[in-house]
A = this chain, B = another copy of it.
């Protein structure tokens, strides 16, 4: 039976047993919270047993506040994530591809999420379809992966090509990279939703965290 403990901080009611129910603890979304609020949430989650306690969309001020409180916290600047309480040993292997260098921060959030979830990760950057031989060259990586995350902005065409090359599930992350008719990631989002190859599942624009959680669930599912 599931227990449903809650930590009530006044401004937040933390769901302490979410990891037990869903495999992922409640994670603090630091955007829109003060550094003090984020630290208080992390402390409560630690107290509740989360390993690691974990925040996303962490800006510099919040990162400093976390490191001041927990000097051994792990802060991943590219991913804008922070982890307190240690990272688990990784199992399995998720392949994370980016279409371009500018998609790097979102891919970093995927990788950090996998690390916090105890899942291994192979990252290959800048595999744009404008040089399709670069895509074909990742065939061995595809064969070695439990699941694939594809991060792409602008035309968002990479998942369509990758999904035609593998029987692994492809988690597609549109990014807000691009300008004009990219409409802050809308073009890539629509491309991925209408991908002509099946086996492509989509998360929100720039949502590396969600893609990482999903990929971790696939790996864990394979190990159940």
Contact = CB atoms under 8 A, between A and B. Distances in A.
Given A180-B176, A185-B180, A187-B194, A104 B168 contact: no
Contacts of A176: 180
A181 B169 contact: no
B193 A180 contact: yes
A119 interface: no
Interface string A135-173: 111000000001100000011110011011111110100
Interface string A1-18: 000101000111111001
Interface string A182-200: 1111111111111111111
A11 B155 contact: no
B125 A192 contact: no
Contacts of A23: 167, 199
B131 A199 contact: no
A214 B196 contact: no
Interface residues of A, number: 99
Interface in A179-224: 179-207, 209-210, 213-214, 217-218, 220-222, 224
A102 interface: yes
A79 to B, nearest CB: 14
Contacts of A69: none
A130 interface: yes
A77 interface: no
Q: Which of A133, A163, A171, A183 is the most central at the interface, judged by chain B CB atoms within 10 Å of its CB?
A: A133
Given A18-B130, A18-B131, A22-B165, 12 more contacts: A12-B125, A21-B166, A29-B102, A129-B161, A130-B164, A169-B218, A179-B205, A191-B191, A198-B210, A200-B203, A200-B210, A221-B221
Interface of A: 4, 6, 10-15, 18, 21-24, 26-27, 29, 31-33, 37, 41, 99-102, 104, 124-137, 146-147, 154-157, 160-161, 163-169, 171, 174, 176-207, 209-210, 213-214, 217-218, 220-222, 224
